[in-house]
Amino acid sequence: MHIFFLVLSIILAVIAQIFFKYFSLLKNDNQNLIYYFLDLRLIIGFSLYFISALFYIISLKKISLSTAYPSVSISYVFIIILSHFLFKEPLSLFKIVGSIFIIFGVSLIWK
């Protein structure tokens, strides 16, 4: 069950990053910073990150930190893939090879 919370934590953190990227694309035509920082994308991103942190803490009750923390790096792979499709960011050979190394490294940690 604690692995489920770790996976959920990683997924929510990835989704939060996507909301942060969408927020970063926002043009601030309004001079009032309060309206800028009350943007729904930013609020959703922070909320998802907060919930992600709570699930991560729950997962740490049974999963060692030396296993859980490196496992979070799998989120980099998801971000690379999602960024390519959602934001048309380039998917280079180095990113693909690096992602393979990350997946391989995380799989070694769980052995």
Q: At what angle do helices 2-24 and 74-87 cross, to 10 degrees?
A: 40
Query: What's the pLDDT at 102?
Result: 97
What are the CA-CA distances from residue 26 to residues 19, 21, 32, 40, 84 (Å)? 11, 9, 14, 11, 19
Q: What is the model's pTM?
A: 0.89
Mean pLDDT, residues 64-83: 96
Query: What's the pLDDT at 30?
Result: 63
Determine what percent of the chain is predicted with pLDDT higher than 90. Answer: 82
The three-point CA angle 6-7-8 to 5° equals 90
Q: Which residue range forms the structural domain that includes residue 52? A: 2-109
Give the chain's largest Cα–Cα span: 53
Domain count, the chain: 1
Q: CA nearest 105: which of 62, 79, 64, 76?
A: 76
